[in-house]
């Protein structure tokens, strides 16, 4: 009987092997057949036809305001048992004193890492880790943010911790000391990357080294920041009537309202809160060639540009189409500078606006040291060509299609959509701003592109910055201008630490 079982088992195995071989050969045949068909029907990327972009609609959401002034957005999404939230706070590093650069960043970091009045940093970390949850805070250039992520079943607990961090941070001195040590480490390494040097110094050339949009944190400014400064900065800006809270995920809106009211509803508003006056922005330079000499480099990082504008400019859509004409695999810069002349590892040019202060028009890339001058001249030529040579129908179609086809990525998930709604309210933009932009892109003409190129691009005012090996740059940069201004990026020595 045992032999019979073994024999049957072997026969079954043999049959399985035969069937597997037949299936494998069938797959090979089908794959080979499809490969031939695909090869026969392969098209050049310019011949590809795209389906019409489907109409995009905003998911259903609620917006309400608590009695203390806290603006709240709720957007239910039951696809996964997760909930996430973000609070936008009207603050930013541009509001910190120039003598204490780094203050806003330290405040944003230590209000989370320093624990709360009810939970020490270790207790807070442990409670969140046990629930695979997160609460994070930060302050950037133009805003502050506090975020949480949690499983639906842990929402009440995690939201309670989130509210604690917002309302009751203690700013532990040990965590501030750690943050300052880390900041000093970053200062010490800030000249390691030539692209980082280029971006940092170019902002100074456009906005001015003392501008809140270009100031650089230094050892001395780090040492001047005290725990008392963090507490004062927090108390100045963190009030319910100075923030917008958005929550998206797997929750019941009515229950979420009750939870928000319970945790944040009794937070007292600050009646004296006023919108901060932003400093005026004007170009620090309206031309010139500048050089950061880095003898160890074998290539140059190049940036050229000038002061730009804001998203609410009525010509923003046409300027964005102009970006599409310049950039990408089918763009003028790639085709001419990288493909035809072969003098760029990377190349780009774009009108880059900001929400409530002027951005920049900036072009650049990386090139061989001995091709630096040729690269700069090629960029200048292409910028001027957008003003003198109207884009072709093919260029216009390519730029508009690529811009409109990327539009759907603004709505990949509800949290992304909610974040955009909050940001528009934060900066005073209409909720349908992105849809207005979409329609404006669709109606942009070749004449519009040439008009905005003539109106907004200033070839005669281009600031040029090169980070590279001055000796290896041949011909020299004096072929671009009679005077080349050197920029010293030496890091100031560590100052004696101020006692807190």
Domain boundaries, the chain: 62-264, 288-486
Q: Is the pLDDT of residue 40 over 90?
A: no
pLDDT digits (tens, 9 = 90+) for 279-289: 899 999 999 99
pLDDT band at 29 (very low <50, low <70, confident <90, very high): very low
Question: Among 42-51, 118-127, 188-197, 222-231, which stretch is predicted with the lowest mean pLDDT?
Answer: 42-51
* CA gap 56, 405 in Å, rounded: 12
pLDDT digits (tens, 9 = 90+) for 130-141: 999 999 999 999
Question: Among 80-89, 201-210, 490-499, which stretch is predicted with the lowest mean pLDDT?
Answer: 490-499
Give the residue-averaged pLDDT of 343-355.
Answer: 95
Q: What CATH number labels 62-264?
A: 3.30.830.10
214: exposed, middle or buried (C-beta count within 10 Å: 0-12, 13-18, 19+)? middle
Question: Among 74-78, 82-86, 430-434, which stretch is predicted with the lowest mean pLDDT?
Answer: 430-434
Higher pLDDT, 251 or 43: 251
pLDDT digits (tens, 9 = 90+) for 126-171: 999 999 999 999 999 999 999 999 999 999 999 999 999 999 999 9
- Is 146 in contact with 137 (CB distance < 8 Å)? yes
* Edge-to-edge strands, sheet with 484-486: 346-352, 360-368, 299-307, 463-468, 288-293, 484-486
Give the residue-averaged pLDDT of 215-231.
Answer: 97
Closest CA relative to residue 148, chosen from 65, 238, 260, 240: 260
Q: Is the pLDDT of residue 300 over 90?
A: yes
At the top level of CATH, which class does the domain 288-486 belong to?
A: alpha beta
Segments of 255-413 assigned E as strands:
288-293, 299-307, 346-352, 360-368
Torsion sign (Cα): 218, 221, 225, 229: negative
* SS3 (DSSP) at 221: helix
Taking each helix axis from N to C terminus, what angle separates 103-113 and 227-237, rounded to the nearest 10 degrees? 90
Q: Is the pLDDT of residue 257 over 50?
A: yes
**How many Cβ atoms sit within 10 Å of the Cβ of residue 118?**
12
466: exposed, middle or buried (C-beta count within 10 Å: 0-12, 13-18, 19+)? buried
Q: Is the pLDDT of residue 273 over 50?
A: yes
Q: Taking the CA atoms of the chain, what radius of gyration do you get in angstroms?
A: 29
pLDDT digits (tens, 9 = 90+) for 83-126: 999 999 999 999 999 999 999 999 999 999 999 999 999 999 99
* CA gap 3, 85 in Å, rounded: 66
pLDDT the model gives residue 48: 61
Rounded mean pLDDT of the chain? 90
């Amino acid at each position: 009987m045992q032999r019979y079982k073994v024999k049957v088992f072997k026969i079954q195995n043999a049959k399985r092997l035969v069937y597997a071989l037949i299936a494998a050969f069938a797959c090979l045949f089908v794959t080979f057949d499809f490969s031939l068909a695909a090869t026969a029907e392969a098209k050049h990327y310019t011949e590809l036809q795209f389906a019409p972009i489907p109409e995009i609609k905003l998911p259903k959401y609620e917006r309400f305001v608590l009695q203390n002034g806290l603006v709240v957005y709720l957007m239910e999404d039951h696809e996964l048992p997760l909930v996430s939230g973000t609070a936008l706070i009207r603050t930013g590093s541009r509001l910190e004193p120039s003598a204490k650069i780094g203050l806003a960043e330290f405040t944003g970091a230590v209000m989370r890492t320093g624990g709360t009045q009810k939970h020490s940093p270790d207790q807070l970390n442990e409670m969140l880790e046990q629930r695979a949850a997160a609460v994070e805070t930060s302050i950037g250039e133009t805003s502050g943010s506090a975020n949480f992520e949690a499983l639906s079943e842990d929402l009440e607990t995690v939201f309670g911790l989130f509210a604690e961090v917002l309302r009751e941070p203690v700013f532990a001195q040990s965590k501030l000391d750690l943050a300052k040590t880390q900041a000093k480490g970053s200062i010490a390494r800030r000249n390691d990357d030539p692209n980082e040097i280029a971006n940092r110094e170019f902002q100074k050339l456009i906005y001015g080294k003392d501008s809140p949009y270009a100031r650089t944190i230094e050892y001395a400014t780090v040492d001047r920041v005290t725990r008392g400064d963090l507490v004062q900065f927090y108390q100045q800006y963190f009030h319910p009537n100075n923030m917008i809270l958005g929550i998206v995920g797997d929750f019941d809106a009515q229950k979420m309202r009750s939870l928000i009211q319970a945790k944040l509803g009794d937070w007292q508003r600050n009646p004296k809160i006023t919108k901060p006056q932003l400093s005026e922005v004007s170009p620090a330079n309206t031309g010139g060639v500048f050089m950061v000499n880095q003898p160890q480099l074998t290539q140059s990082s190049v940036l050229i540009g000038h002061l730009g504008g804001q998203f609410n400019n009525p010509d923003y859509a046409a300027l964005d189409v102009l970006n599409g004409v310049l950039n990408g695999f089918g763009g003028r810069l790639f085709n001419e500078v990288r493909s035809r002349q072969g003098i760029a590892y990377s190349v780009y040019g774009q009108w880059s606006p900001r929400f409530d202060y002027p951005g920049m028009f900036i072009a650049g890339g990386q090139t061989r040291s001995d091709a630096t001058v040729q690269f700069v001249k090629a960029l200048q030529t292409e910028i001027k060509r957008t003003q003198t040579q109207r884009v072709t129908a093919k260029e216009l179609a390519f730029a508009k299609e690529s811009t409109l086809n990327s539009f759907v990525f603004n709505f990949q998930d509800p949290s992304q959509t909610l974040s955009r709604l909050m940001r528009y309210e934060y900066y005073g933009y209409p909720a349908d701003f992105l849809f207005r932009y979409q329609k404006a892109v669709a109606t942009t003409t070749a004449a519009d592109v040439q008009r905005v190129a003539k109106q907004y691009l200033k070839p005669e005012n281009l600031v040029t910055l090169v980070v590279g090996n001055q000796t290896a740059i041949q011909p020299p940069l004096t072929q671009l201008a009679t005077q080349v201004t050197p920029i010293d990026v030496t890091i100031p020595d560590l100052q004696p630490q101020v006692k807190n």
